[in-house]
Chain A
Amino acid sequence: MSEFIRETELSQEALLEASMVERPEKNEPLGPLFWICVGWLALNIIGAIFANVLPVQSPLNQDYNFVNSAPSLHHIFGTDDLGRDIFARVVYGSRVSIAVGVGAMVIGFGIGAPLGMLAAYRRGRFDTFVTTVMYVLLAFPAIIAVIAVLSFWTPRSMFKIILVIGFASVPLVYRVIRTATLAIATKDYVIAAKVQGATDRRILMKELLPNIAPIGISFLLIGIATVVTLEGALAFLGLSVNPPTPSWGNMINESRTVLAENPWLVLFPSLALCLFLLCLNFIGDRMRSHYDVTEVKL
């Protein structure tokens, strides 16, 4: 008994020590570029949500006086081969990318994250079983599977695209969250909480979740960037939302036939997509190095 108490005390000491080591005054400042990226993403999201309230032209309106025109005061990004305003189509096109990126990751994290945490915390047979299943699924080339399912499961809609990519991302999310949880679940303060008789629910929510959150969020952002790229590729191949609904990917696809006459049609959606991805990747990367304790300790 005395030994047990001594061990608990030691654990609590370790807990105190750990909290001092692991919560240093800010690791590395996030920097102005980080906030510029956050601002750009916010602007994109606001534009996507309020596109029909903002003073943006209709993305479907065809103006035959301006076909394949260069940027001008009237059409600041120029017009496409059907005389539609490219700026309006870029703004409306962001809706598809953002909805698919966020929607798919909500499904991926909604299923993968709790499973990963539970498996890493419980260990045992449950962990072995789920992990084996996930690794088998992970070996399946997800991109091929997504293309295959979308080509057979017709007619295609945004909802189906979100569902298919979302489920395809579950094994990946599971692996990241499980690995992150494993590293934390063996820490002294979790053991201390267990010894003090905390319920599993409390340990998962109060001890593990806050410590996994930064890694989870940074992976979430990079995951959204990956899904947006994938949706772009699908749209480019003609497997995403049907025209005339604009999306960045299908705008770039439509530009193929008029590349020589109208380079604006490929430049602006490409720029919008690349900046969006760059910001997501940058924020994700920054957050990971900002919160990563191990890297600082080295």
Chain B
Amino acid sequence: MLKYVIRRLVMLIGIIFVISVGSFYLIHLLPGDPAAVILGTGDSPSNRLKLYKLLGLNKSIFDQYFIWISNIVRGNLGISFISQTSVASTIRAALPIDLEIMGLSQILAFALAIPLAMRSARKPDGLIDRLLGATSFTLLSIPPFIIIVLLVLFVSIKLGVPNIGVASYVSFGTNWIVNLESLALPAFTLAIGSFVVYYRVLRSDMIATLQEEFITMARSKGISQRRIMWRHAFRPSSVALLGAAGVNIGGLLAGGFVVQYLLAIPGLGYTLIAAINDSDYLLVQGIVLVVSVGVVLINFFFDFTINIVDPRISRE
């Protein structure tokens, strides 16, 4: 186990290093003079001096990387020369909204997927299984940006349900009930995408597990169907489910960008798209770095959880 943990940690550090180099290099993809593009409307001699000091633009590319990374390590992601605010504080304000939307959507997705997958696995190819199979397959082909637009059209505009339409976001601290209402559509939209994946993965794994000998053994001992499903079959079947959840995070984030953009919810996604449209490149770079590292860390966390659920994996 220890050897496994060390190997994974080394891999993790390698990945984060690659991400840092990638994010650093983004600035150099800009056409023309990067300083002029980054400063945009805030291009003045004093700002230019600040930017050169921040990024070391007149030094070699290796020195630039070291200046940049040592700033990052100290929590200094730079300041936006367009809005005159520090990138780190903008990100700190936006991040909790993303986490809340993702958390809510995952609770919904698991609450739907686990019981339905178990129901399907009990009678594969039965009526319910086929119905759910067809539904999940159709949902698989509807991207989140279509689901959210249609939901806004029907629920908010046609039915006129209050507090869930465009620009109705209220922070959790102000009024938590309205906050939850305003995040209902985004959470539901993201939950659909995750639900389809979790349902399909858990269903096929449960069907395979239910054919194992220890299940037959449990049946012959007269243990109830319910207990067999939850106590005997669920744990060995949940490994792939956790794996899917870990892999799903990246897609979930992108889906989060889309729903935030449409509903004007000021999370990281909305901030990112606004920053791209304002050519606020240091903010874009900061968000990209934070989000990428976050995704990698969450994946790493899921890897560990899988090991606790199924210790055989770390001993391969």
Contacts and interface: CB of A to CB of B under 8 A. Distances in A.
Interface of A: 135-137, 139-145, 147-149, 151-155, 225, 229, 232-233, 236-239, 249, 252, 255-256, 259-260, 263, 266, 270, 273-274, 277-278, 281-282, 285
B261 A259 contact: no
Interface in B227-269: 249-251, 253-254, 257-258, 261-262
A139 B299 contact: yes
Interface stretch (B139-147, B170-178, B212-220): B139-147
Given A148-B23, A152-B281, A237-B261, A252 B138 contact: no
Nearest to B298: A141
A13 B147 CA distance: 55
Interface stretch (B10-18, B60-68, B307-315): B10-18
B288 interface: yes
A143 B149 contact: no
A147 to B, nearest CB: 7
B291 A141 contact: yes
6 contacts: A136-B11, A141-B249, A141-B296, A151-B276, A155-B31, A285-B137
A144 B291 contact: yes
Interface string B11-50: 1001100110011001101110000000000000000000
Contacts of A232: 143, 145-146
Nearest to A282: B137
Contacts of A135: 11
A191 B284 CA distance: 52
Given A136-B11, A152-B26, A239-B276, 16 more contacts: A135-B11, A136-B14, A141-B296, A145-B292, A148-B288, A149-B26, A149-B29, A236-B258, A237-B273, A256-B149, A259-B149, A266-B149, A270-B149, A273-B143, A274-B146, A281-B140
A1 B267 CA distance: 72
Interface residues of B, number: 48
Which of A151, A153, A238, A278 gathers the greatest number of chain B CB atoms within 10 Å? A151
B50 to A, nearest CB: 21
Contacts of B11: 135-136, 139
B4 to A, nearest CB: 15
A95 B114 CA distance: 40
A233 B258 CA distance: 7
B153 interface: yes
B141 A277 contact: yes
Nearest to A249: B145
A255 B149 CA distance: 9
A277 B143 contact: yes
Contacts of B22: 140, 145, 148
Contact of B137 (A153, A260, A266, A281): A281
B276 A273 contact: no
A139 B26 contact: no
B190 to A, nearest CB: 13
Contacts of B144: 233
Given A141-B292, A154-B30, A236-B145, A136 B257 contact: no
A237 B262 CA distance: 9
B284 A152 contact: yes
Contacts of A266: 149-150, 153
A281 B157 CA distance: 32
Contacts of A153: 29
B27 A152 contact: yes
A252 B258 contact: no
B6 to A, nearest CB: 16
A262 to B, nearest CB: 10
A143 B284 CA distance: 14
Contacts of A154: 30-31
A236 B273 CA distance: 11
A273 B140 contact: no
Contacts of B261: 236-237
A210 to B, nearest CB: 27
B180 interface: no
Contact of A141 (B29, B157, B250, B285): B250
Contact of A144 (B152, B254, B299): B254
Contacts of A151: 276, 284
Contacts of B84: none
Contact of A140 (B19, B140, B258): B19
A278 B138 contact: yes
A274 B251 CA distance: 18
B74 to A, nearest CB: 23
Given A151-B284, A236-B258, A270 B150 contact: yes
